[in-house]
């Protein structure tokens, strides 16, 4: 249950871009298996679904239906709107990759902003009510908050 930040994301956070701007209008991919050892690594596992606003279609590079955030407060930023997906393959969700709004073909990269984490029903980086994903089955992300560490 470790979140892993790509080199591209760490560069943005160290610069002037920030988390919410880096991932504004991006998507979260839900995948099977164990997350890679680095967010710079190529994606692994079967793609089970792509989280967008209200499960609507998404085109990389376009803002339509990409994920949005509320205003940051107290060192944290939370989701805004309805984040959801519809299963596109059957399997058990094991990890997620948050991707910025750009073309990311899931290969190895040290420049693309990515955040990887575990998926479970409780105690994971991203909790779903059911990790057994079926084709056509809807799922909603009830909460998502990124908090910058104080130290």
> 45-97, pLDDT tens digit by residue?
999 999 999 999 999 999 999 999 999 999 999 999 999 999 999 999 999 99
Contact 19, 64 (CB under 8 A): no
pLDDT of 151 over the 80 cut:
no
E strands in 55-113: 68-69, 76-80, 83-86, 91-99
By CB atoms closer than 10 A (0-12, 13-18, 19+), residue 129 is exposed
- C-alpha 84/C-alpha 110 separation (Å) is 28
Which residues neighbour 15 within 8 Å (Cβ) at sequence distance 6 or greater? none
- Which tokens in the block code for residue 127? 């909790």
Per cent of the chain over pLDDT 90 is 92
Quick one: pLDDT band at residue 148, thresholds 50, 70, 90?
A: confident
Quick one: pLDDT band at residue 149, thresholds 50, 70, 90?
A: confident
pLDDT of 124 over the 70 cut:
yes
pLDDT of 111 over the 80 cut:
yes
């Amino acid at each position: 249950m470790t979140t892993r930040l790509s080199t591209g994301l760490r560069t943005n956070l160290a610069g002037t871009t920030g988390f919410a701007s880096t991932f504004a209008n991006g998507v979260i991919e839900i995948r099977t298996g164990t997350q890679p050892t680095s967010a710079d690594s190529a994606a692994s596992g079967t793609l089970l679904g792509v989280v967008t606003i209200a499960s609507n279609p998404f085109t990389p590079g376009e803002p339509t239906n990409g994920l949005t955030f509320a205003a940051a407060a107290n060192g944290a930023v939370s989701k805004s709107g309805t984040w959801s997906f519809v299963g596109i393959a059957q399997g058990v969700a094991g990890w997620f990759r948050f991707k910025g709004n750009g073309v990311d073909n899931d290969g190895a990269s040290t420049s693309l902003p990515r955040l990887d984490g575990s998926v479970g029903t409780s105690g994971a980086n991203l909790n779903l009510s059911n990790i057994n994903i079926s084709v056509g089955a809807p799922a909603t992300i009830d909460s998502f908050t990124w908090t910058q560490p104080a130290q």
